[in-house]
Amino acid sequence: MPTFALRLARFTRRLLPALAAVAALVVVFLVTTVLTDGAGSGFGAWLTTLGAGTAAASWGGRRRTRAARLALFMPVVAAAVLTATVCIPTVPTARRYPTALPFVATQHWSLATGSRVAVYHYPPAGAGTRRPIPLVYLNGGPVRGLSVLDHRFLQLLARQGYDVYAYEQAGGGRSDLLPMDQYTISRSVRDLDAFVDRLDRGTVDILGFSSGAVVLTRALADPGIAARLHRTIIAEPGPMDGPTAQIAGHKGQPSARGLAPAMAGPRSTHIPRYATAFGLMRLGLLTPDTGLIGQAEGDNAFTAADLGSDTASGYCARDAHRIPAEDTAQNFSFSPAASLRVQQTIKDSPSVAPQLRDSQTPTMLMIAECSSQLRQWATGVLADDPAIQRTQLLPGVGHHMWNGLDDNNERAAAAITAFLQDEPAPLPNYPTRDEIPAFLRDHK
């Protein structure tokens, strides 16, 4: 027994320095990757790390036996193998677009801005009243495909007589990619204007959700675009500009984040290459147009399971164990790099409040009881847009208000229909502009 303990101690003494050397080389690789912004798919950093490790091993083995010199190179080999996994793609590097949906045709429209976007049209269905003004839906993301849950909600609106159009913003879903430096919030607003022009149906009603609500809010601050909007609905908005993005505040009632079971399915973040790339991008250490992974490769790699707790945060805590599948693996599409790029341009943008205060387009604000968005993002829009005629606080729902659970879709549709038809609201008008201080103070 003492002999075994002695051998174990000697082995540990030899192993720990080797592990420390491997860890040091991995750190060198990561630092070099950040400094070079992942140039050459990370191989520049890999060669630098390999060269540094080889030089250090050669220097340290100058006066040692051949066996001892070879042993010094083992950590270099181990680190080279580990870091090489960050440099080798495991998914196609050319964009792999989602397959066609079986229940709606995918059209592709080329807009005047240069964007080529995927468009979905749900004409009025059923025997009810046909609404003459088209309704355009702007989904969240910012650069994400429309989920199956979204499509089902749009079908519900079409059955209520609306002529519904939706498009996936440039880079999202089946829409064509843009060069990374063209993903900006201003481009998203221009694309909306160009889409309305391409639709050529006169004024339109627009429902904007989450980041789509941000695009809509900024469009309302542009008189030229706002003049083409008949009625608008801002649902669960994110921050509308840089000053709003810097606001500290609180969220709605508890969401299912941290309570829901882990989402099933493959994760790109379990693969060293994408875990490193997405992690460093999220930390701001790599730019969205990093040379480590291309935009198309990142889109192909990212899965619904990678959203993890972000999906759970869209539901109330009481729904934690019955969160529906929002999408199918074949239809899911999210561009992490382009989304980060758009979000950064929002953070860098000046206030749009002065322009928004001149808005005259009749608007409704929709917020969720269990919203994962800061309340101050919604109340900021309410305070600055004098044309907001009513607010609907939907009880029993989280950020993703139309989620197929219970009668949530029908309740959301009822609030939307009542406003678009200028009928009495199904819920109290709350909070009003005057009630904002009390609403925030009471953490509603």
pLDDT in tens, 386-426: 999 999 999 999 999 999 999 999 999 999 999 999 999 99
Residue 69 has pLDDT above 90, yes or no: no
pLDDT at 13: 60
pLDDT at 264: 86
Which has more confidence, 192 or 8?
192
pLDDT at 5: 56
Q: What is the pLDDT of residues 38-51, one digit of tens each?
A: 999 999 999 999 99
DSSP letters of 333-398? -B-HHHHHHHHHHHHTSPP-HHHHTT--S-EEEEEEEE-SS-HHHHHHHHHH-TTEEEEEEEEEEE
Residue 1 has pLDDT above 60, yes or no: no
State the pLDDT confidence band at 15, using cuts at 50, 70 and 90.
low
State the pLDDT confidence band at 274, using cuts at 50, 70 and 90.
very high
Residue 66 has pLDDT above 90, yes or no: no
Best-predicted range by mean pLDDT (10-14, 179-183, 257-261): 179-183
Given this structure, which CATH class describes domain 107-266+313-441?
alpha beta
Residue 284 has pLDDT above 80, yes or no: yes
Residue 443 has pLDDT above 90, yes or no: no
Residue 56 has pLDDT above 90, yes or no: no
State the pLDDT confidence band at 183, using cuts at 50, 70 and 90.
very high
pLDDT at 180: 96
- Own/partner pairs, 347-351, CB within 8 angstroms, 24+ separation: 347/239, 347/242, 347/245, 347/246, 348/242, 349/185, 349/186, 349/241, 349/242, 350/241, 350/242, 350/243, 351/241, 351/242, 351/243, 351/244
pLDDT at 205: 98
pLDDT at 70: 76
pLDDT at 10: 57
Residue 7 has pLDDT above 70, yes or no: no
Give Cβ neighbours of residue 75 (< 8 Å, ≥ 6 apart). Answer: 18, 19, 21, 22, 25, 53, 57
pLDDT at 309: 85
Determine what percent of the chain is predicted with pLDDT higher than 90. Answer: 84
**Can you tell me whether residue 283 is helix, strand or coil?**
coil
Residue 6 has pLDDT above 60, yes or no: no
pLDDT at 53: 86
Q: Which of 424, 140, 102, 169 is nearest to 307 (CA)?
A: 140
DSSP 117: E
pLDDT at 126: 75
Give the residue-averaged pLDDT of 175-186. Answer: 98
Q: What is the pLDDT of residues 141-157, one digit of tens each?
A: 999 999 999 999 999 99
Give Cβ neighbours of residue 48 (< 8 Å, ≥ 6 apart). Answer: 28, 29, 32
Cα 415 → chain centroid: 26
Residue 12 has pLDDT above 60, yes or no: no
pLDDT at 71: 74
pLDDT at 113: 98
Give the residue-averaged pLDDT of 353-363. Answer: 97
Q: What is the pLDDT of residues 114-136, one digit of tens each?
A: 999 999 999 998 777 789 999 99
**In this predicted structure, which of 17-31, 80-94, 343-357 has the lowest mean pLDDT?**
17-31
